[in-house]
A and B are shown apart, each in its own frame.
Chain A
Amino acid sequence: MMTYYLQNALRGIKRSPGLSLLVVAAIAIGIGVSITMLTVYHLMSSNPVPEKSEQLFRVQVDSWDPLRPFDDDRPERAPHQMTWRDAMAILEQAPAPRQVAMFEALVIIQPPDAQQLPFEATTRMANGDFFPMFNVPFLYGGGWSRHEDEAATQVAVLSRTLNDKLYGGDNSVGKKLVINDRVFTITGVMNSWSPVPRFYDVINSPFQEVSEIFLPVALTPGMEMRSAGSDWGWKAERINTFEDWLASESAWLQFWAELPTSADQRTYLSFLDAYANEQKLLGRFQRPINNHIHDVMAWMAYMEVVEEDVAVLVGLGFLFLLVCLLSSVALLLTKFNGMSAEMSLRRALGATRMQIVGQNLTEVSIIGLTGGVFGLLFTMLSLYGIKSMISRVPDALFRLDGTMIAAAIGLSVLAAVLAGLYPAIRACTLTPAQQLKTQ
């Protein structure tokens, strides 16, 4: 039966190739446009660490201006980043199995080959908990220990890209590297790691590759490392020396804590409140207590990581798909109308209505599936096109994954069947006698 349907369907398609082609094209373009937008949206709003996104918390304490909130438009918000003093104190005292204080910086690397010119590399200053906390994959070696954090040892973790560039991809663990005129020992080389969004730092662009090199944050005072990312300040302070800068109310560090249970979270929050009260006695934290922890996905929502433009495009993309669907229905209706004589003949020869509907739906599904396949090709093409228009974004933001492929195929068949259902049913509800008579 199925092969008979298929054969008939192919004949039906062949009979009106122009119309069939037009329906395939309409579905392909509709699927292509909507799935392209949906893919980018889906990736932008995806969970970058599903295995522990509910255990990782972004920490905020309100150290802001007594006179004004951090964000005038949303006065309930605490500052998005922390001061050096608070970050270091909380890192040392807070009750959490793992915590990380970090910021983005730029360093000068002297390649081991002395013939090569020194170059600038993006750096993340962080403590060693960063690597186990965020499940960073390693190619060689690993991160550094708390002991090395405490001693402010000159150790470094390289990204795979930088290791390729400096050592041609060889195992460089234990090698010495000159960074900002200091000699560092490499403890590990990260494997390719490109979380989308780059959840651990969405303030300095949520869609960017990870830094090229990681160094202990404890080296900040010694190396006089300035943040190359955002910093916010509210207090007029005269900053002449690096010590002035470290002691200032400028907020330039991002802070995360790993808190596996809700009991841990409660304990942690009460610690933050106690810390704020302690600081109040010292004349700081003059605002009402306003400390927060957000888990990964809550933080992504809080920081509005998904580009507004993409949401607009998803909306317009689905309206576009609706246009294509309406076109398909109109065209299929036309097509089946043209075939009513044949259907009537079959009905007169004993085919049931269900059989005719089944026949028609087979034809429509073939058209839908073909449209879906071309739609996927079109999606890949347009994702590539959009990617090539934007500089400095990770490829992972434009990768078609299994979910989206399944969504595209499913959507196209669903679209075609929806578009074809009415015409297919309508075509066979006509009374055969009447149709045959008009011949």
Chain B
Amino acid sequence: MEFGPVIRALRHHKTGTLLAALQIAVSLAIIVNASFIIKQRADKISRPTGMDTDNIIVVSIRGVGENYDTVANITADLNLLRNLPGVVDAAPINQVPLSGSGSSTGLRTIADENVQAISTARYQTDEHSMNTLGVNLIRGRNFYPEEIEPFIPGKTERKTPAVIVVTQALADSLYPDDDALGKPVYWGDMSSSTIVGIIDHMQGSWVSWDGLDRNMIHPGIQADTFVRYIIRTEPGERDRLLPIIEERLTERNRQRVLRYIRTHEELIQRSYELDRVMARVLLIIISLLIAITALVIVGLASYFVSQRTRQIGTRRALGATRADIIRYFLLENWLITTLGAVAGCVLTVLVAYWLETSFELPRLDWRYPVAGVVVLWIISQAAAWVPAWRAAQIPPAIATRNV
């Protein structure tokens, strides 16, 4: 419609128009790139864990004193835990998935030091662990109770386990072209274990490690003064049982320190804490940016309207309807926003390039700038609506008055 007059009018306010467009351009660059980062963090946090993390409690205990009997205490603790009403199962474990700490090892399919080993987190636990974690064993078998041997540092000989269970991701890394079940793997000292079971999916200990899905479970109990237990409760029973478990374990033997008892959920949240903070901070920045952009649009449009009171009155007197006036200002605003959006797309790509090259962030998805432009259109039109509507209320008679 009235592109001509709108553009001619804007030419009179070159600097203001240009500044507003530039402001929109930079806003777009920030909003798009920030949203893209937020999406990546949200995806990272919401990856499936493969475990029943909502119903798991983690306990860490340390025995005190020279004569603390580690094996007897572990046996008694597990007995107590497994017989507690509401508890599904419990197991000792050397490290807790998604906790951010633990140990890893390298496995090979050929007994040759020169072959690069595949790194994997290493969980040492008993035959109750899979039920406790709630992982899904899709092929093969669980450990037999007789395969679980305690290792007492300084007292017993450390042995290579005869059997191990691996996640599908680890199986695929070890034997990309073959079925891993029943096949051998070699440890660093070239002793070997046989893969007897495959879990479909389970996340490991370090959430930012690219090998998060590669995990191995081997039978055994590390009977150290430090022990960790994982406990799975019936759904909804976790929070009720946590203080009870704390009390029972403390009572059972006072000669030790209950290092911590936490829900698995809390441990996981801690692991993702910085990702969450980053996402939140970016979200706040985006909100502030949108608020500022909207306010500036309202401010500028109001000014434009106030400058043209007489002009509007004249147009109205010459037969322009209220809708025409509103349309005029909305069109003006749309032009400024679109000008900004075009420049903004270029700037967005530049910022994305800076992030990609300096910080190893993934390449920006093209749909984000498109969505960003649409959002800006909506916001700026909504913000311009108020002054435009006010402009439309200017009576035609004002044109005849002296200012």
Contacts and interface: CB of A to CB of B under 8 A. Distances in A.
A390 B16 CA distance: 42
Contacts of B19: 326, 329-330, 333
B139 interface: no
Nearest to B358: A311
A34 B8 CA distance: 37
Interface string A160-182: 00000000000000000000010
B245 to A, nearest CB: 17
Interface stretch (A134-142, A186-194, A195-203, A231-239): A231-239
B23 A330 contact: yes
Interface string B273-298: 11011101110110011001101100
B189 A338 contact: no
**Interface size class for chain B?**
35 or more
Interface stretch (B28-36, B47-55, B82-90, B91-99): B28-36
Interface string A239-269: 1111000000000000000000000000000
Interface stretch (B58-66, B71-79, B233-241, B366-374): B58-66
12 contacts: A108-B257, A181-B66, A236-B187, A242-B153, A316-B34, A320-B30, A320-B289, A326-B22, A329-B19, A333-B19, A382-B284, A422-B15
A322 interface: yes
A323 B300 contact: no
B270 A239 contact: no
B154 A426 contact: no
A391 B34 contact: no
A326 B351 contact: no
A423 to B, nearest CB: 8
Given A242-B153, A319-B30, A386-B281, A120 B259 contact: yes
User: Is chain B's binding surface mostly helix, strand, loop or mixed?
Assistant: helix
Contact of B285 (A241, A311, A316): A316
A319 B29 contact: yes
A71 interface: no
Contacts of B274: 307, 309, 390
A41 B286 CA distance: 20
Interface of A: 18-19, 22, 25-26, 29, 33, 67, 106, 108, 117-120, 181, 224, 235-242, 307-309, 311-313, 315-317, 319-320, 322-324, 326-327, 329-331, 333-334, 337-338, 382, 386, 389-391, 422, 426
B313 to A, nearest CB: 17
B16 A333 contact: yes
A236 B190 contact: yes
Given A323-B27, A323-B30, A389 B257 contact: no
Closest CB pairs A-B (n = 9): A236-B188, A236-B189, A326-B23, A330-B19, A334-B303, A327-B296, A389-B277, A323-B26, A309-B278
Nearest to A335: B303
Nearest to B160: A238
Interface string B183-216: 0000111100000000000000000000000000
B296 to A, nearest CB: 4
Contacts of A108: 62, 64, 257
Given A313-B281, A327-B296, A330-B296, A29 B288 contact: yes
Contacts of A331: 296, 299-300
Nearest to A327: B296
Contacts of A26: 292, 295-296
Contact of A240 (B20, B154, B280, B307): B154
Contacts of A313: 278, 281-282
A315 B30 CA distance: 10
B299 A18 contact: yes
B153 A240 contact: yes
Contacts of B289: 320, 323
B303 A308 contact: no
Contact of A118 (B16, B257, B288, B292): B257
Given A106-B62, A316-B30, A330-B23, 8 more contacts: A26-B295, A108-B64, A238-B189, A239-B158, A316-B285, A324-B292, A331-B299, A389-B276
Given A323-B27, A326-B26, A33 B288 contact: yes
B257 A120 contact: yes
Given A239-B158, A312-B359, A319-B29, A334 B300 contact: yes
B3 interface: no
A236 B117 CA distance: 12
A390 B257 contact: no
B109 to A, nearest CB: 16
Nearest to B224: A226
Given A326-B23, A330-B23, A333-B16, A117 B257 contact: yes
B150 to A, nearest CB: 14
Nearest to B20: A330
A432 B286 CA distance: 43
A235 B188 contact: yes
Nearest to A332: B19
A426 B23 contact: no
Contacts of A320: 30, 285, 288-289
A236 B192 CA distance: 13
A46 B113 CA distance: 43
B52 to A, nearest CB: 25
A294 to B, nearest CB: 23
Contacts of B284: 382
A317 B286 CA distance: 11
Contacts of A338: 303, 306
A391 B273 contact: yes
From A237, A324, A330, A386, residue with most partner B Cβ within 10 Å: A330
Contacts of B62: 106, 108, 120
B153 A312 contact: no
A67 B113 contact: yes
A21 B82 CA distance: 65
B64 A181 contact: yes
A315 B257 contact: no
A322 B26 contact: yes
A309 B299 CA distance: 34
B351 A319 contact: yes
Contact of B292 (A29, A337, A389): A29
Contacts of B181: none
A133 B115 CA distance: 44
A389 B279 CA distance: 12
B46 interface: no
Interface string B157-180: 110000000000000000000000
Contacts of B292: 25-26, 29, 323-324, 327
B342 interface: no
A319 B26 contact: yes
Given A33-B288, A331-B300, A311 B359 contact: yes
B114 interface: yes
A334 B16 CA distance: 8
A327 B257 contact: no
Contacts of A237: 189
A320 B34 CA distance: 11
B312 to A, nearest CB: 17
A329 B26 CA distance: 14
A181 B282 CA distance: 50
Contacts of B65: 181
A422 B20 CA distance: 15
A329 B300 CA distance: 11
Contacts of B330: none
A326 B16 CA distance: 10
B230 interface: no
